[in-house]
Structure 1
Amino acid sequence: MHRQTRNRKRPQTRAVPASARRQSALLGVVITILMALLLFMWAQQARAAIGDAAITAGQAEETLDMAKSPREVFVGRWYGEDMEAGSITKRWLVDAFPDGVFRITFRFYEDDGGYREQIEVGEWGISGPVYFLSTKGWVDDGMFLKADTSNGQLYDAYKILKLEQQVFEYEHFVNGNRYQVRRVDTGFTLPE
């Protein structure tokens, strides 16, 4: 007997591999994200076009502050004032130079209007949340008096509580004293 071969057409089944299904799902997610971004950007442009600013002046300043490192923010002149025991007012002016050198002029004002002045010089730095000073000496009547740098009391470390363009708040790690200074222009001087 002779068998006849028939040309049968079998329905072709199409098997979709798992990797193709994953690629298809990933493509769907990417398209969805791109559409959401496009809608968001369009909404921002529409708000700006009708007069609602896309970014406020405060947001712009905050963005600029974040772009600067804490060290860059601290460079400049800062003024602080505090009441001491016995109704003495302490005022100080910090000059933080870009090379890491500082000069702090302290004035201790008495009730009668007189004051005594002390000028410290040394090195400053900021590392993470820590602001630190290393006093190298004093200036007295225009003369530099070198400090004994083996004296541990000439090194201070502070926890940074707030450091912004105009305000710096910090707390001494050992004694817990808190200080606040505000930025002043380079021509600012302590009151006589």
Structure 2
Amino acid sequence: MKNLAITLVFVSLAGCSVVPKDESNLVTEAKPGLPETKVEQRLMMLGKWYGDLPTKEGGRKQWTIERSTDGTYRIDFLITKHDGTTQQSSEAGHWGVAGDIYFSMYRGAIDNGQFYPSNPSDPYNYDAYNIIRLTKESFEYQNIDSGNKYTVKKVSTNFTLDDSE
């Protein structure tokens, strides 16, 4: 009986012991402020950018993307197929950046000034990219799902795809 009482005392005391906190598992009570470098990163992404890359199918993909301060974007594409035929399209959506991830949410196509909304529940309409390099003049990023790597350069707001070579 004495052994049982001693065992119960030790078990009770063990339950009262303080387990050291794992500092790596602690969270802040509120979202911390952004470092100035992250604020600058978002500002650098604003404005109009131009990209021009060969396609895996033997053609050429050119585009301009204009990102606005309100988190919206518009992309105009010019695809030149390997046989020389061209296809133009435009889309609009929302964009953002968190850490070293750039993301976009396609909201719909634009044709002759008319907006055709997409299905917001379709996961295909959401993209995330690793930011590889970002300066005031150029931006390199990689789609996390497809692995496609893109490079764009900053252009004036009145630049159009017709201005490209």
TM-score, structure 1 normalization? 0.62
After TM superposition, give the deviation of residue 86 of structure 1 in Å. Answer: 3.1
| Aligned partner of 1:186 among 146, 157, 162 | 157
Alignment pair present for 1:74 and 2:74: no
After TM superposition, give the deviation of residue 179 of structure 1 in Å. Answer: 0.6
More strand, by proportion: 2
Secondary structure of 1:191's partner? Answer: helix
After TM superposition, give the deviation of residue 190 of structure 1 in Å. Answer: 0.3
TM-score, structure 2 normalization? 0.72
CA gap of 1:123–1:67, structure 2 versus 1, over 3 A, is closer
Q: How many residues align?
A: 128
Secondary structure of 1:71's partner? Answer: helix
Secondary structure of 1:70's partner? Answer: helix
After TM superposition, give the deviation of residue 84 of structure 1 in Å. Answer: 1.2
Give percent identity, aligned residues only: 34
Partner of 2:28: none
- Of structures 1 and 2, the one with the larger relative CO (CA 8 A, separation 6+) is 2
CA distance in 1, matches of 2:98, 2:68: 16
CA gap of 1:148–1:66, structure 2 versus 1, over 3 A, is closer
Note the residue ranges of structure 1 that are not aligned, 5 or more in a row. 1-64
Partner of 1:4: none
Correspondences of 1:1-192 after superposition (within 5 Å): 69-111=40-82, 113-191=84-162
2:69 partner amino acid: P
1:108 partner amino acid: I
Residues 38, 99 of structure 2: 8 Å contact kept: no
CA gap of 1:100–1:113, structure 2 versus 1, over 3 A, is same
Instruction: Give a deviation string over 1:26-79, Cα, whole Å, max 9, x none.
Output: xxxxxxxxxxxxxxxxxxxxxxxxxxxxxxxxxxxxxxx959521111000000
CA distance in 2, matches of 1:104, 1:127: 21
CA distance in 1, matches of 2:85, 2:162: 11
1:124 partner amino acid: W
Instruction: Give a deviation string over 1:86-130, Cα, whole Å, max 9, x none.
Output: 321100100001110000111101356541111110000011100
Structure 1 segments of 4+ aligned residues over 4 angstroms from their partners: 65-68
Larger Rg belongs to: 1
Note the residue ranges of structure 2 that are not aligned, 5 or more in a row. 1-35
After TM superposition, give the deviation of residue 187 of structure 1 in Å. Answer: 1.1
CA distance in 2, matches of 1:190, 1:118: 12
Residues 63, 76 of structure 2: 8 Å contact kept: yes
After TM superposition, give the deviation of residue 82 of structure 1 in Å. Answer: 1.1
